[in-house]
C-alpha cells in the first residue's frame, strides 16, 4: 500500500510541476539593464536578448543609414528627447500593469528572419496569450491619416521545431490606444513570428508586447506519466 501511495505522489508531483504556467514580463532581461525612461535594442547585444524562457531577435545597422528591426525593450512612460519619431514609447506610456516604469517589448517588422519579428522558446511551449498595444508613432500616423476603411493588424504565426507553421492569429490594432489582451492558444510551439498587415503601406510597422503567458509542452508530462506506468507494469510482471 505504501509503495502505491509513493508512486501516486510521484506522479502527482511531476504533473503539478510541469503544468505550471510562466509569464514573460520583460522585467528581467539578461543582456542589459535599463535605466529610468530607457530602451535597449536586441541588435546592440549580439542580435538577441532573453527574458524568461523567450529569446527575442533583432538587428541594428548604422551604415549607410541608422535603422533597426526585430525587438527592442523599453520602460519609457513619456516621449523623450532622443525618442526619434516616437519609436520607443508605447501609446499608454508604460507596460500593461498598473503603475509606471514597467518594461515591455517593442517589435518592428524584421525582414532578415523571413517570418517577421522572431521569438524562440527555451523549450517547446503552449502559448496562451499576450498583451499588445500600439507604439506612439504608429498610432499617431493612424490618427492623422487613416480613414474608416483603413486597418492595421498583426499576424502572429506559431512554428514547430522545423519552422513549419502550425497556426496563426490576427490581432487588430487599428486605433488601439491602450493595452489589450489577446488569446492565442497555440500548442507545442517552438517559435513565434510576428508580421504586420495594413491597408496603408506608409504606416510605421511597430507594435508593443507584454506579459506572454506560456505552459511547458504537455507531451513532456505524458511521457513522464507513461514511464511511471511502464515501471509499475514491469515490476508486476517480475513478481
Of residues 7 and 83, more confidence is placed in: 83
User: Can you give the pLDDT at residue 79?
Assistant: 86
Residue 120's DSSP bridge partners are: 55, 191
Of residues 149 and 232, more confidence is placed in: 149
Residue 130's DSSP bridge partners are: 182
If you search the block for the grid coordinates 508531483, which residue do you land on?
A: 13
| Exposed/middle/buried for residue 23 (C-beta within 10 Å: 0-12, 13-18, 19+) | middle
User: Does the structure show a pLDDT above 60 at 88?
Assistant: yes
Q: pTM for this structure? A: 0.81
Asked whether the CA dihedral 26, 41, 78, 111 is positive or negative, the reply is negative
Under 8 Å between Cβ of 216 and 153: no
If you search the block for the grid coordinates 488569446, which residue do you land on?
A: 183
What value does the mean pLDDT take over residues 179-185? 95
User: Can you give the pLDDT at residue 231?
Assistant: 35
Q: Tell me the pLDDT tens digit for each residue of 35-58.
A: 989 999 999 999 999 999 999 999
Query: 112 pLDDT band (50/70/90 cuts)?
Result: confident
| Exposed/middle/buried for residue 171 (C-beta within 10 Å: 0-12, 13-18, 19+) | buried
Grid cell at residue 192: 513565434
CA distance 208 to 210: 7
User: Does the structure show a pLDDT above 90 at 82?
Assistant: no
CA distance 87 to 108: 10
User: Can you give the pLDDT at residue 233?
Assistant: 44
- Per domain, the residue ranges of the chain are 2-238
Q: Tell me the pLDDT tens digit for each residue of 166-176.
A: 999 999 999 99
Query: 230 pLDDT band (50/70/90 cuts)?
Result: very low
Which fold does the domain 2-238 belong to in CATH?
Answer: Jelly Rolls (2.60.120)
CA distance readout (Å), 208 to 75, 103, 160? 11, 11, 24
Residue 182: phi and psi, rounded to 5, are: -125, 125
Amino acid at each position: 500500500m505504501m509503495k502505491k501511495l509513493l508512486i501516486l505522489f510521484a506522479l502527482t508531483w511531476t504533473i503539478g510541476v510541469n503544468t505550471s504556467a510562466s509569464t514573460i514580463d520583460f522585467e528581467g532581461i539578461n543582456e542589459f539593464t535599463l535605466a529610468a525612461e530607457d530602451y535597449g535594442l536586441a541588435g546592440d547585444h549580439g542580435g538577441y536578448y532573453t527574458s524568461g524562457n523567450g529569446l527575442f531577435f533583432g538587428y541594428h545597422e548604422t551604415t549607410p543609414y541608422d535603422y533597426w528591426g526585430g525587438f527592442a525593450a523599453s520602460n519609457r512612460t513619456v516621449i523623450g528627447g532622443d525618442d526619434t519619431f516616437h519609436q520607443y514609447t508605447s501609446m499608454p506610456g508604460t507596460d500593461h500593469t498598473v503603475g509606471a516604469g514597467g518594461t515591455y517589448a517593442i517589435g518592428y517588422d524584421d525582414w532578415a528572419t523571413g517570418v517577421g519579428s522572431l521569438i524562440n522558446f527555451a523549450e517547446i511551449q503552449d502559448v496562451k496569450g499576450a498583451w499588445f498595444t500600439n507604439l506612439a508613432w504608429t498610432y499617431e500616423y493612424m490618427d492623422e491619416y487613416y480613414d474608416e476603411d483603413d486597418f492595421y493588424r498583426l499576424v502572429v504565426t506559431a512554428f514547430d521545431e522545423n519552422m513549419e507553421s502550425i497556426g496563426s492569429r490576427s490581432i487588430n490594432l487599428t486605433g488601439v490606444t491602450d493595452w489589450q489582451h489577446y488569446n492565442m492558444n497555440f500548442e507545442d510551439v517552438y517559435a513565434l513570428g510576428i508580421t504586420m498587415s495594413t491597408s496603408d503601406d506608409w504606416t510605421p510597422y511597430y507594435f508593443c508586447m507584454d506579459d506572454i503567458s506560456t505552459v511547458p509542452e504537455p507531451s513532456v508530462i505524458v511521457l513522464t506519466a507513461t514511464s511511471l506506468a511502464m515501471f509499475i507494469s514491469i515490476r508486476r510482471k517480475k513478481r
